Amino acid sequence: MFTGTPTSSTGKDIFDYIDSSLKNLDDGSETYWNKIAGFCSDGASNMQGKNMGVAAFVRQQNRETLVMHCMAHRVELAYKDAVKKLKLYDKAVTLLLGLYYLYRKSPKMKQELKRSFSILDKRVVLPTRIGGTRWLPHIYRAISVFLKGYQAFKLHLETSSHKNPKADGLARILLDASVFVFILDLKVILQPLIKLSLMLQERSSTLADNFYILQATTDALMHMKSKVW
């Protein structure tokens, strides 16, 4: 088991950390790099860079090592590329992120929101963040919480909008029907993508499993594309 951390996040320091850790695990023959069949990481330059990335230093030790860009990360990046030019997506993210920080940074606003849930006789759910190391599950959870608590969020924002500019701005986005419908559609689209991402991250999954889930995801998205949303 690896212990400690690299000196820095540069490719050379990360490689040196891996090298020293493998050396500690080796039986003394120091042939551990010859046993490495593949190297997989995200696409960051310090990991996949052709000259100074970890992958480059690994290949220097064993030219036969297969270097791969993590498929789960590629799914996340493909998703971001697909939505980056959508204005409705920007509005949806602004709303979800705004709700999270509005109630996270203000205990007073949080208590007022809880009272709104109580008035509506609904279970309290607080907005969650949309960022993180696993973007799709984070934004999916944020959307689910938003839809569950929509009525309470609406009630509180409308009540607070006259005295809080941030609440007023969020209320305007929340009441935009096109944004609400977009969020509903986005939740449906995210479901097969999350299943794909989680399967690709599963250590016990095989190449056949991944091929099957990738094909199933493609079919699901193409079916959605053929619909009139």
**Domain that residue 63 falls in:** 11-69
* pLDDT (0 to 100) of residue 132: 65
Matching residue, tokens 């989680």: 198
Examine the domain organization and report whether 139 and 178 are in the same domain.
yes
Instruction: Summarize the confidence of residues 110-116 as an average pLDDT.
Output: 96
- State whether 82 and 64 are in the same domain: no
Which of 69, 88, 118 marks a domain boundary?
69
One domain for residues 112 and 186: yes
Q: What is the pLDDT of residue 8?
A: 93
Task: Give the pLDDT band of residue 167 (cuts 50, 70, 90).
Answer: very high
69, containing H or E segment: strand 66-69
- The more confident residue out of 2 and 23 is 23
User: Quick check: is 91 in a domain?
Assistant: yes
pLDDT > 70: what percent of the chain? 95
Q: What is the pLDDT of residue 143?
A: 96
Taking a C-beta distance cutoff of 8 angstroms, is the pair 198, 209 a contact? no
- Are 137 and 193 contained in the same domain? yes
Query: Which carries the bigger pLDDT value, residue 25 or residue 140?
Result: 140
Q: pLDDT: is 49 or 133 the higher one?
A: 49
Q: How does pLDDT run across 28-37, given as a tens digit for each residue? A: 666 888 888 8
**Comparing C-alpha atoms, which of 97, 92, 148, 102 is closest to residue 125?**
148
- Is there a single domain that holds both residue 197 and residue 109? yes
Number of H helices, E strands in the chain: 11, 2
Are 119 and 184 in the same domain?
A: yes
Residue 160 tokens read as 């607070």
Is residue 143 in some structural domain? yes
Spatial separation of the C-alpha atoms in residues 111 and 160, rounded to whole Å: 12
41: which strand partners?
A: 69
Average pLDDT, the chain: 90
Looking at residue 29, what is its pLDDT?
65
Q: Is the pLDDT of residue 133 over 80?
A: no
Q: Is residue 132 part of a domain?
A: yes
